[in-house]
Structure 1
Amino acid sequence: MLQQNVKQPLVSVVIPTYNRPDYLKQAIASAVKQTYQHLEIIVSDNCSDESPQGIIESFADSRIRFWRHPENVGMLSNQMNAFKMAQGKYVASLHDDDMWHEDFLVKLVPTLEAHSNVILAFSDQYIIDSDSNINHLGTEANTRGFKRDILAPGIHTFFAQIGLIDKSIPTAAACVIRNGVIDWDSIPQEVGGMWDLYLTYLCCISGYGAYYYPERLTYYRAHELTDTMLSGSRNANAKIRKAQSEIFCYKAFMEDGRLQEFHEYFQAKWLESHTTLGIGLLRNHQTKIARPYLFQAFKRQKLNPRTLAALILSFIPQPLANQFLTVSRTT
């Protein structure tokens, strides 16, 4: 194994974590068990209620490096802290509630080694539930939804279409990136939870290519604590955060001259995010703040029933509007 490690480049596995001790242990285990062994595992804890240091120590693996913030710095800063700690030639992000197949790295790293003009390599993924059971219907829907079922295996030299339009590249969960190309400080705080899409954008405009391996090599967990599963006011706040991040990202994409062929798509998504933000603000009873976003979307979109309905609701007395918003909670 020592001889093998001399030949293998170092891969940094970064695992940002916060208050998910049971899932974290599974995530770390999936990294430790990689058949590709020359790696470091960086666990960056965002000041969890209980320090996961005991979990780290239970593995007795010298490849694991642990950092604990003395206070909560936010999800993005914790993620970027982990990236900045990475010493490897390649870096791969692993969510603290996800897992990798044992051959994830060994099947992706060799292509990066063989092709210096490739910045990232990615695979397809399974969808699992809170008990780590594979959701087969969800998995198939995920693969089709992100068009990985029709995506050609191999190297894609210009990949803005698959990265930013089809969103085929799961940058945060099933991707290995060439370290040193991306300046982690160039990812602004405004991207928030959309940091993975913004990172994909930086990779797209880097001039490098991307490699797709069509096998499912990671396990993405859908459970009750993800933003898409939240309900009530927490769901509204999740919508607000996501929409604010999307507005920032799509505005940046719209203004990048290298992506002009996709300008119309980015503008449509930008306006759609205005509507989503407006609805989230309405649900938080912030009508005056919501209305300008809805007006912006209404004026610049073709007639959109969702935007029009939300704009009308912003002029209806709050108790009556709340009834409509409750009925349309899944909008």
Structure 2
Amino acid sequence: MLTMSLKHSSILINLIIPVPNVSICIPTYNRAQILPYAVNSVLNQTYGDFELLICDDASPDNTAEVVAQWDDPRIRYIRHPQNIKRSRNMRSGYEAAQGQYFIKFDDDDALTPTFLERTVAVMESQPDVDFVCTDHWVINARNERDQAATAVNSAKWGKDRLAEAVIDDLLKETFVRQSLQVGSTLFRKDCLRTVDFMRFEADGCEDFDLLVRLAAVGKTGFFIPEKLMEYRFHGGQTSLKQDIHFLSAKIFCLESYRFPERPELETIRFAKLAGLKQVLAMRLIEKGEAQRGRQLIQELAALGPLSSKAKLGQLLSYLPLRLRQLAFQGFRQLRPEDYSERVRNAAG
């Protein structure tokens, strides 16, 4: 295994081994215990012409020691001396990648053994295809595949109706249905350069943003309905701070898009924006930022009648913070558990 700085890695690596065909990036932070599952899924690929970039965002745990266990020249360990945050850590792998094909997936997920073999074959046989996406399994904290949750997930995002073919109306699939996932997608690196990969402002929803922007500039996607990747649901809920960060990033994305030749998508975009702003307003009110929450609700009111949920949020914003938070917690407990929560709670 080679350990080196990002600055000198690409020069030194070319002196030692040939340039790989595929670059695989696993950004990681403080997940030394779970990282081996992801890494071993790459090393067990039936297609071997790849480099694996493990991008460590200054993890305080023993990630470096865990990575040192692998003696494989295809592994390049990039450890940042200081935490540079999620999006920049991902980008460090993209910028260091030498292969003509590129995939990034999270440190708690995994590829099935034939992922590269199947996706590279499509790329090699169809030069007009810019990226290949596959369906995926849902796994829990014990690395167990959940058949029922996988089926529900595929149906929820419309993956179960996509055939093995070039994706028709890629913009609708990425923006409206959100059927595709970056972690189960192999890209030509040239197509990622067209949109300059991921935007820092989209941190938290950068996968969605990347796919929409690729579709908007006319790139071609191909879908393989086989489940060739494993996506993990595990214990723990997102915090209010994380929710607010994600919602703010997604609002940034939607406000930046324009679909002048697709008026039906513009209508959907405005509706999505209104829905996101309503949810963000509720989260802000729950967190204690009542003024910001009420301001968002006022903006929504200027566009049309408020929903009953928005009206309720407006009323709750005038309660003392503790009572307000108890009310939100009570409403959340009344909501039925969905399939993702079931998987998380079963093995969290």
TM-score calculated relative to the size of structure 2: 0.85
Paired residues of 1:239 and 1:276 also in contact (CA < 8 A): no
Identity of aligned residues (%): 24
Corresponding letter in the other structure for 1:196? D
CA RMSD of aligned residues (A): 2.0
Pair 1:198 & 2:197 matched: no
Give distance in 2, aligned partners of 1:259 and 1:191. Answer: 23
Once the two structures are TM-superposed, the CA of residue 157 in structure 1 deviates from its matched residue by 5.1
The residue identity in structure 2 corresponding to 1:269 is: K
> Corresponding residue for 2:311?
308
Matched, 1:263 2:269: no
Q: SS in structure 1 opposite 2:69?
A: helix
On the 8 A contact 1:13/1:40 being kept in 2, the answer is yes
Provide structure 1 residue ranges, at least 5 long, that are not aligned to the other structure.
1-5
How far apart are the structure 1 equivalents of 2:319 and 2:135? 46
In structure 2, the partner of 1:10 is 21
Superposed, 1:145-294 pairs within 5 Å as 145-156=156-167, 158-171=169-182, 173-183=183-193, 185=196, 187-225=198-236, 229-230=237-238, 234=239, 236-253=240-257, 255-294=258-297
CA distance in 2, matches of 1:322, 1:122: 41
Give me the whole-angstrom Cα distance separating, in 1, the residues matched to 2:218 and 2:210. Answer: 14
Q: Using a 3 Å threshold, how does the CA distance of structure 1 residues 9 and 85 change in structure 2: closer, same or farther?
A: closer
1:138 and 1:301 map into 2 onto residues whose CA distance is 37
Could you list the per-position Cα deviations for residues 107-136 of structure 1 after superposition, in whole angstroms to 9, with x for gaps in the alignment? 111111222221110111110100101112
TM-score normalized by the length of structure 1: 0.90
Q: Does residue 1:105 correspond to 2:123, yes or no?
A: no
User: Within 2, Cα distance between the matches of 1:68 and 1:26?
Assistant: 19
Instruction: Give the SS at the match of 2:191.
Output: coil
**SS in structure 2 at match of 1:72:** coil
- Cα pair distance change 1:178/1:259, threshold 3 Å: farther
Secondary structure, counterpart of 1:316 in structure 2: coil
What is the alpha-carbon distance in structure 2 between the residues aligned to residue 303 and residue 125 of structure 1?
A: 38
Contact in 2 for aligned 1:274/1:296 (Cα 8 Å): no
CA distance 1:320–1:52, change in 2 (3 Å): closer
Structure 2 contact 45–115 (Cα < 8 Å) conserved: yes
Residues 1:208 and 1:115: Cα distance change in structure 2 (over 3 Å) = farther
| In structure 1, C-alpha distance between the alignment counterparts of 2:171 and 2:304, rounded to whole Å | 24
CA offset digits 1:28-87 (Å, max 9, x no partner) = 000011111000000100111125222222121100001111111111111111111111
Distance 1:301 1:130 in 2: 44
Deviations 1:253-297 (A, max 9, x none): 2x3435543111111111111112111111211111221112223
What amino acid sits opposite 2:250 in the alignment? E
Question: Does 1:89 pair with 2:93?
Answer: no
Q: Which amino acid aligns with 2:276?
A: S
Distance 1:268 1:116, change over 3 A: same
CA–CA distance in 1 between the matches of 2:152 and 2:44? 28
Query: Structure 2 stretches of 5 or more lacking a match?
Result: 1-16, 336-348
Please give the alpha-carbon distance, in whole angstroms, between the structure 1 residues aligned to 2:262 and 2:192.
19
Aligned to 2:60: 49
| 1:3 alignment counterpart | none
